[in-house]
Amino acid sequence: MLDLDPADAIVAALWREATTSRASVTQLLRAYFREVELKPRQQKRIKQLLHRVLASRARIDAALEDAAPAGIVESLEGAVRVLTSRVLDGNLATTEAKRKLAWIDWERVANFESRLAQIDDPLRRVEILGSFPRWLARRIVERFGDEADAVATALAGDAPRTIRVNTLQCSVEQCIASLERDGITVRRTEMATASLEVLGPSQLFRTWAFQHGWFELQDEASQLVAELVAPPPGGLVVDACAGAGGKTLAIAAAMGGRGTLVALDVSASRLEELRRRAKRAGVRNLRVFRIQADAWTDEVEALLARADRVLVDAPCSGLGSLRRNPDMRDRLFADEREVERLQTIQIDLCTRVASRLAPKSRLIYATCTVLPDENQRVVERVLAADPMLDVVRVAEILGSERASKFSDASGTVLETFPHRHPCDGFFAAVLRKRSSEASADTDEAEGREVGPS
C-alpha cells in the first residue's frame, strides 16, 4: 500500500472510477464534492491533478516504460500514475517519490521531457504530448505543422477560469466589486467585452453575485461567439442547438431584454437547465422549444423563416475544449470516422437552416474544435450548396482592430487556439442570405473565402 498524500489518494480513487464508469469526470467530481466537504483550494488541487492524470495518460505510460520494469505498465494502478504525473510536472521531488515507491527510476521520469523532445517522429511526439490516437496526431500535425507540439501540450494543460458578467443585471464594475467583497479576485480579459478571469481558488457559486444572476461561468471564446451573433435591436434570434444555454444567455444579455430569443434543443433536461438559468439571469424574452433531431414543427419552421439571426452551435468533436473534459479522449476520439459522422450532421444542420433563412438574415456557424474538417470545410460545403449565401467577415461585425486578436489573418472567421489564446479552441463563421440576385455582382467581388484550412 502506497503512502499517499490525502489529495493524491483521492485522485487515485477517482481515477479508478473515471476509467470504469460511464459518468463524465465533471459528474464524478461534482458528486464527490457534494459528499465530502473540502476547501476551495483542496477542490481545485484535486480537480487539476485528476485532469492532468487523465489528460497525460500516454505521457505517463511512456515515462514509466522508460523507468519501470518491463511489461508492467498496463497493470499499474492509479496511485502510481498520480505520482508519475506529479514528478513529470515538477511538483513532487524525486527523493519523495522514491521514498513512497523505490522500484521506479524517478530520475528518469523527471528527465523524460528532454528525451521526448528528441523524438524525430512528430506524430509520435504529438501522440504522447496530447495522449492522442495516431489518426488525431496526424491531423494536428497536418493542420499546425511546427506548432503541433504546442497545440498538443496546451490541450493537455489547464484551462483558465472565466466568467461572463450578465449585463442584464449589473455592470462589469459592479460585478467585480461584489466578487471582491466576497474575497474573490478577478481581472478583465482582453477579447470578450464582459469577460473576467477568476484568479485563485474560489467558491463562485456560493457568492451573492452568482445567486442573484450577475454572472455565468463561460469560456471567453464562447462569449465571443455570442457577440458575433450581433442581434439587431428588437430582432428575432434563434439558437438552434442551445443545450443548457451558455451562449443563449449571452445573446440575451446582448439583446438587452428587447426582441425575441428562441432556444431549440433535442434534450429536455438541457432545456430545463436553461430555463432555470434564464430565470436566475433575469431573461424575460426567451421562448424554449424541444425539437426532434430530424424534423421541426410548423411553429419552429415559421420562426426560422422570420429570424434575423440563427446560431448553429453544432455538435462537434469538442477538441478545442478537451482540457476541460479530458475523458473525452475515450468517448469521441476512439474512432476517426466520428469526425466524418459529425461533419455530416454539421453540414445537414447548416444547409437546413440556410434554406429557411429570409433575405439579409444571418446564420452563425460555430464549433469548439480546431479541426478544419469540422470548420472551414463545412462552411465551404454549405456555401457550395447555396449560391445565395455569402460570408460576412468577423472584422466587419466587430471591427478590424478588435477582430485581429482572435480571427484569421484576413479577418474573415473567428479562430481561437489554446496555445495562442487564453481560452478554448473555437471557430465561427457568419453567413448572410442575399437580398436578391441583383446583389450577386457586389457579393462576388467581395469573395466567398472562409480562411485557410
> Which of 324, 426, 312 minimizes the C-alpha distance to 369?
426
Question: 309-313 and 389-392: which strand pairing?
Answer: unpaired
Give phi and psi for 227, each to the nearest 5: -65, -30
Q: Can you tell me the mean pLDDT for 17-39? A: 88
Q: Can you tell me the mean pLDDT for 360-366? A: 98
Give phi and psi for 216, each to the nearest 5: -130, 145
User: Is residue 9's pLDDT more than 50?
Assistant: yes
**Angstrom distance (rounded) from CA 346 to CA 343:** 5
Q: Can you tell me the mean pLDDT for 57-80? A: 85
Cα 242-316-343 angle, rounded to 5 deg: 115
Question: 260-265 and 286-290: which strand pairing?
Answer: parallel
CB 270 within 8 A of CB 264: no
User: Is residue 437's pLDDT more than 60?
Assistant: no
User: Is residue 451's pLDDT more than 80?
Assistant: no
What is the per-residue pLDDT for 243? 93
Confidence of residue 1 (pLDDT cuts 50, 70, 90): low
Span of 57-66, 141-150, 172-181 with lowest mean pLDDT: 57-66
DSSP of 259-300? SEEEEEES-HHHHHHHHHHHHHHT--SEEEEE-BTTB--HHH
Q: Can you tell me the mean pLDDT for 373-393? A: 97
Cα 222-56-151 angle, rounded to 5 deg: 45
User: Which pLDDT tens digit goes with each residue over 280-303?
Assistant: 999 999 999 999 988 899 999 999
**Angstrom distance (rounded) from CA 150 to CA 89:** 16
What is the per-residue pLDDT for 23? 84
Share of the chain above pLDDT 90, in %: 80
Residue type, 443: D
User: Which pLDDT tens digit goes with each residue over 401-423?
Assistant: 999 999 999 999 999 999 999 99
Confidence of residue 306 (pLDDT cuts 50, 70, 90): very high
What is the per-residue pLDDT for 452? 63
**Angstrom distance (rounded) from CA 387 to CA 76:** 57
Residues 6+ apart with CB under 8 A from 113: 88
User: Which pLDDT tens digit goes with each residue over 318-362?
Assistant: 999 999 989 888 777 888 899 999 999 999 999 999 999 999 999
User: Is residue 274's pLDDT more than 50?
Assistant: yes
Residues 6+ apart with CB under 8 A from 177: none
Q: Can you tell me the mean pLDDT for 251-264? A: 97
Mean residue pLDDT of the chain comes to 92
Residues 6+ apart with CB under 8 A from 388: 433, 434
Report the half-sphere exposure of 372 (CA within 13 A, side-chain side).
Answer: 14
Domains of the chain (ranges, CATH numbers): 6-118 (1.10.940), 162-217 (3.30.70.1170), 220-446 (3.40.50.150)
Give phi and psi for 295, each to the nearest 5: -155, 145
What is the per-residue pLDDT for 3? 77
User: Is residue 447's pLDDT more than 70?
Assistant: no
What is the per-residue pLDDT for 435? 85
Share of the chain above pLDDT 70, in %: 95
What is the per-residue pLDDT for 445? 43
Look up the pTM and report it. 0.92
What is the per-residue pLDDT for 443? 45
CB 305 within 8 A of CB 296: no
What is the per-residue pLDDT for 77? 80
Residue type, 136: L
What is the per-residue pLDDT for 440? 47
Question: 215-217 and 162-165: which strand pairing?
Answer: antiparallel
Confidence of residue 18 (pLDDT cuts 50, 70, 90): confident
